[in-house]
Amino acid sequence: MPLLVMKFGGTSVADLSRIENAAKKVQREVARGYDVIVIVSAMSGETNKLVSFVEGTSKLYDAREYDAVVTAGENVTAGLMALRLQEMGIPARSWQGWQVPINTTSAHGSARFVSIPRDHIDQKFAEGFKVAVVAGFQGVSAEGRLTTLGRGGSDTTAVAFAAAFGAERCDIYTDVDGIYTTDPRIASKARKLEKIAFEEMLELASLGAKVLQTRSVELAMRYKVRLRVLSSFEDTDENSGTLVCDEEEIMESKVVSGVAYSRDEAKMTLVTVEDRPGVASAIFGPLAEAGVNVDMIVQNISEKNYGSHPGAVTDMTFSVPVNQVARAQKAMEDARSAGLINYDELVADTEVAKVSVVGIGMRSQVGVAAKMFQALSSENINIKVIATSEIKISVLIDRKYMELAVQALHDAFELDKA
């Protein structure tokens, strides 16, 4: 029997009528002949309520007890979904993480999968059950304690089950109807993509398109799990939404698939750093230890000769999330006090945004960067930092031009045209 994994997020199961609506989508797939594994999140708002209980009880809480409390949300939805499916005449039952068991590491709050044995669920399918409803976001450690996977964990659960059970596809039902060439709230011409490659989705997810968690896309790419993102709130059929798949499945891809952005960035520049071997690790080591997420890094190789710095010097520029600027500043000052590095000044520009174009077609196509810079230039947008990878080009610009830049790039690469 072909098997599908279907995942419903918190807004898709927010109340009993939405659970019923989701169950109807499951019913449709069962009618088509699929066995289905349904992964559910907590009803929207429930997890936040449970987290507030935990934080109201203990500031520096024991993560094991946190996990024991918050997993209750998904367990409730799983039972209710199974009941609703039974009410529709579909043989179904719920599984809590420990019942499967979803074996994870003991890293409470951010556990990783160890194994998902198939035997219990396979046996139920063999007995005639059509649907296994599994509580997302959770697992059980070797010590027998409940664990959670961290934010977006239910997407990851869905992909892991699709991989473990060799599912034909993993459908992620959410509150948007697919992946767009860019954010439709910013560029009205944004177009829904029919297909997108894993690598592109990964760049878009980590660049700020919040539809799918990075970790679930990574897992899908590793195990070649075909992901479909589609809406819980619309009538959907086998062609709805966006398929995230291997690039081989995408016949003719455009050079650029999408434009991503990230609003809350800061550009930091260490002015007049000694330019010697090991200086980069002397800077970025302390930043990593302080938990600062450094994204783009640019070193302006130069040979200045200041009175106070007789040797070779350079400027080092990097970007961080704007809310980590203070932490980065402290880490740099501490490193200077400890004699690890030397610099004249640390300049922070907290009014920048990042805009990126992404596309696997870039690999074989020249001139993408030139076209991007040209489009920005024609709008008089100054580029502050540039960083590139195999399939993306990112720039930092003044935040006030962010929307304009997204629109200009969307037009320049003709993303509104299929």
Residues that bind its own copies (CB under 8 A): 16, 19-20, 50, 53-54, 56-58, 61-62, 64-66, 68-69, 71-73, 75-76, 78-80, 82-84, 86-87, 93-94, 96, 98-99, 144-146
Cα angle 175-181-187, degrees, rounded to a multiple of 5: 85
As measured in angstroms, the least distance from the Cβ of 75 to its own copies is: 5
As measured in angstroms, the least distance from the Cβ of 9 to its own copies is: 18
As measured in angstroms, the least distance from the Cβ of 279 to its own copies is: 43
Radius of gyration of the chain (CA): 24
For its own copies, the closer CB: 33 or 56: 56
Q: Which helix (H) or strand (E) holds 28?
A: helix 16-31
Contact call for residues 168 and 2 (beta carbons, < 8 A): yes
For its own copies, the closer CB: 50 or 298: 50
For its own copies, the closer CB: 146 or 230: 146
Reading the block at residue 329, the tokens are 């500043």
Q: Report d(CA 65, CA 130) in Å as an integer.
A: 34
As measured in angstroms, the least distance from the Cβ of 130 to its own copies is: 15
Residues in the chain: 418
For its own copies, the closer CB: 78 or 412: 78
For its own copies, the closer CB: 25 or 254: 25
Beta pairing class for 345-358 and 258-274: antiparallel
As measured in angstroms, the least distance from the Cβ of 94 to its own copies is: 5
HSE-up of 107 (CA within 13 Å, CB side)?
8
Kindly list the distances between the CA atom of residue 110 and the CA atoms of 67, 151, 293, in Å, as whole numbers in the listed order. 10, 8, 17
Residues in Cβ contact with 239 at an 8 Å cutoff, skipping those fewer than 6 apart:
none
Contact call for residues 225 and 167 (beta carbons, < 8 A): yes
Beta bridge partners of 297: 318
Token pair 């450690």 in the structure block, residue: 141
Q: Report d(CA 279, CA 67) in Å as an integer.
A: 41
As measured in angstroms, the least distance from the Cβ of 65 to its own copies is: 5
As measured in angstroms, the least distance from the Cβ of 213 to its own copies is: 24
For its own copies, the closer CB: 98 or 198: 98
For its own copies, the closer CB: 19 or 352: 19
